[in-house]
């Protein structure tokens, strides 16, 4: 079997890692793979968003399954183009990918489907946006409607902060086309849960819920990032909460997309806030989340490939499930100095030879392999995933391993899962070794 992975970040490394275990005899290819992926697959020197070139290459090279990692190629219509060529692909169509590509579209879809989410308004006019913020006050959240690599949501604790965010997006165009239209929504108080659903357009299989840490600083301070770490399982994601996510969020959303002529086939990511009023949707993504994938897949004890092939070949997921191995997983992201702002690339990376094991995996995100060794090539560089019998064991192992990896300017959060540890052991400092 010949499998192409489109993308080259931490999420794609985790997908490659898992699929190689599901199909050890398969041939794997990836678009411009990072330094951790390159020893595990054959490189395809085509940009992930070059839809036409990828479709031609996949057809010429007899690819049996293409797995699309990032949102950009999906929003650009990669799945549509591959299907025109008769190629099996795991990922939603361009129409279905609008659930992430346009927050304005997603909000309207949720409103019409009566799916709980934050009260909001959509604006493309700066004066109107500022007037509404003055009317409703703060705290409030300002979001670029388009794709902004996980950095397009600004939590504003004051009206002045919100006005600054609006002017940054609509006035200064700091987010480019992604910020030409913005969504302003009420601030939701609670704790987030990430839910992955493998969908065939109607039926779906839920993977293990997880929780990521979007803010750059300890204790969830500072600006949003693409994600500084994650853990699973999440104790607040009880059976009742998962059933609420299934029945009140996933089912009506899939029904609404199908009714809109955009049945969703692929991985639907629901970012949910567990509020005092129940679950509310923070956002939807049309692909696996990053860094949640780096913990959900190592804890998955059944075949991901089987689920993906079922969807890609147009078959039904009805009756299928995803088994979970016992224990817990925590991943700690090592980032470049300056991230999520500007940062330098090309910093040599040192990973101790004996660091990795069956229960300690270093997933590469922003790395590149050079003649002189591994160097940094992005803001989020590595995700250090540890698996252990307990959450505390996994958190300690992940943090300790991250501390042993070196590159100039490296930093990481030492408190990944701090709320979980407080629930499990209120007397323990989250940063205690």
- What pLDDT, on a 0 to 100 scale, did the predictor assign at position 432? 46
- Pick the range with the lowest mean pLDDT from 69-83, 144-158, 189-203: 144-158
Mean pLDDT computed over 346-361 = 97
Label residue 431 by pLDDT band (50, 70, 90). Answer: very low
Label residue 204 by pLDDT band (50, 70, 90). Answer: very high
Q: What is the pLDDT of residues 138-167, one digit of tens each?
A: 899 888 888 876 667 888 889 999 899 998
User: Which position has the higher pLDDT, 230 or 148?
Assistant: 230
d(CA 77, CA 68): 11
Q: Where do the domains of the chain lie, and which CATH numbers do they carry?
A: 2-91 (3.40.50.20), 125-180 (3.30.1490.20), 191-312 (3.30.470.20), 328-424 (3.90.600.10)
Tokens of 240: 């009742």
DSSP sequence for 419-430 = HHHHHH-TTS-T
Mean pLDDT computed over 334-342 = 96
CA distance from start to end of the chain: 44
Q: What is the pLDDT of residues 84-121, one digit of tens each?
A: 999 999 999 999 999 999 888 998 999 899 999 988 88
């Amino acid at each position: 079997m010949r499998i192409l992975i489109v993308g080259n970040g931490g999420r794609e490394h985790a997908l490659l890692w898992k699929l190689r275990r599901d199909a050890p005899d398969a041939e794997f290819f990836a678009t411009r793979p990072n330094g951790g992926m390159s020893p595990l697959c054959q490189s395809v020197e085509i940009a992930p968003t070059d839809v036409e070139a990828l479709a031609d290459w996949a057809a010429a090279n007899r690819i049996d399954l293409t797995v699309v990692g990032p949102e950009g190629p999906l929003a650009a219509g990669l799945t549509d183009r591959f299907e025109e060529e008769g190629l099996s692909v795991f990922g939603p169509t361009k129409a279905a990918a609008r659930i992430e590509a346009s927050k304005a579209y997603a909000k309207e879809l949720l409103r019409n489907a009566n799916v709980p989410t934050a009260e909001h308004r959509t604006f493309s006019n700066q004066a109107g946006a500022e007037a509404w913020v003055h009317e409703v006050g703060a705290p409030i959240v300002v979001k670029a409607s388009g794709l902004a690599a996980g950095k397009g949501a600004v939590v504003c604790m004051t009206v002045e902060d919100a006005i600054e965010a609006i002017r940054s997006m609509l006035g200064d165009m700091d987010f480019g086309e992604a910020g030409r239209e913005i969504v302003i929504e009420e601030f939701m108080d609670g704790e987030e849960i990430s839910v992955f659903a493998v969908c065939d357009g109607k039926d779906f299989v839920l993977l293990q819920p997880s929780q990521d840490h979007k803010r750059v600083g300890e204790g969830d301070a500072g600006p949003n990032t693409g994600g500084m770490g994650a853990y699973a399982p999440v104790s607040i994601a009880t059976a009742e909460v998962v059933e609420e996510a299934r029945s009140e969020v996933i089912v009506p959303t899939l029904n609404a997309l199908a009714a809109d002529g955009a049945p969703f086939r692929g991985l639907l990511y629901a970012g949910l806030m567990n509020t005092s009023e129940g679950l509310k949707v923070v956002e939807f993504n049309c692909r696996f989340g990053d860094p949640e994938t780096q913990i959900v897949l190592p804890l998955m004890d059944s075949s991901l490939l089987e689920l993906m092939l079922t969807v890609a070949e147009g078959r039904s997921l009805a009756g299928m499930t995803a088994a979970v191995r016992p224990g817990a997983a925590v991943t700690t992201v090592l980032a470049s100095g300056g991230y999520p702002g500007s940062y330098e690339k090309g910093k040599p990376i040192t990973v101790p030879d004996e660091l990795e094991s069956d229960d300690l995996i270093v997933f590469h995100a922003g790395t590149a392999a050079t003649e002189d060794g591994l160097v940094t090539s992005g803001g989020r560089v590595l995700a250090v995933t540890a698996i252990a019998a307990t959450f505390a064991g996994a958190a300690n192992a992940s943090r300790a391993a991250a501390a042993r990896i070196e590159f100039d300017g490296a930093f990481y959060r030492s408190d990944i899962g701090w709320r979980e540890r407080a629930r499990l052991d209120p007397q323990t400092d989250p940063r205690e070794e």
